[in-house]
Structure 1
Amino acid sequence: MPHTTQNPKEGSFNFRLDPALKSAFTRATAAEDKSASQVLRDFMRAYVAERQRGDFLAEAHQQSLAVAERARDRESDEARSLAELASLLDEDPFRDEGTA
């Protein structure tokens, strides 16, 4: 009977590597009681997530530069919003405490 899983694997990688690296990698994964395949899948997921995070940060940076540019116009919504935020941050919510 063939082995079936809930999440069938549809793709694979075949690549060549140095025999010493393969041996060291296999020993390292065995020491952690993990298969080499599982470690490679975990690495791939982490790599993709890091790339996506970098893409997100780059987009956020571009958007913040655009907002900063618009905020230079004191009549813009961005400038008014930043001024309001600054005034809220300058408030001391505890200023009346301790004066009895």
Structure 2
Amino acid sequence: MDRDRDEELLRGRVYGTDHDDPRPGPRPGRVYAELVGGPLDGLLLDITGRAPGDAGAAAVLPTELGAFGAGGRAVYEPRPGDPGRYDWSADTP
């Protein structure tokens, strides 16, 4: 795996889109937060329709790019005062 190449491919993409999706970027009418740091840095997370009580909840996202490889997850916490960014806090198995 070439980390530099992988990171470049992820920039500006929405988390969960397929690598060969012809439209991997944001879509009109959706709300996104940028993932900052960690293995998913630069991806956009679709937070459309999150319940108000869930607005401060962490996002635990499956990824093969984190410290635990296949089956691992990356944990992102909403940035206080900036709902448009989620900061990486940990990788988990």
TM-score by length of 1: 0.19
Q: Which has the larger radius of gyration?
A: 1
Greater share of residues in strand: 2
The answer to which structure, 1 or 2, has the higher relative contact order (CA under 8 A, 6+ apart) is 2
TM-score by length of 2: 0.20
Greater share of residues in helix: 1
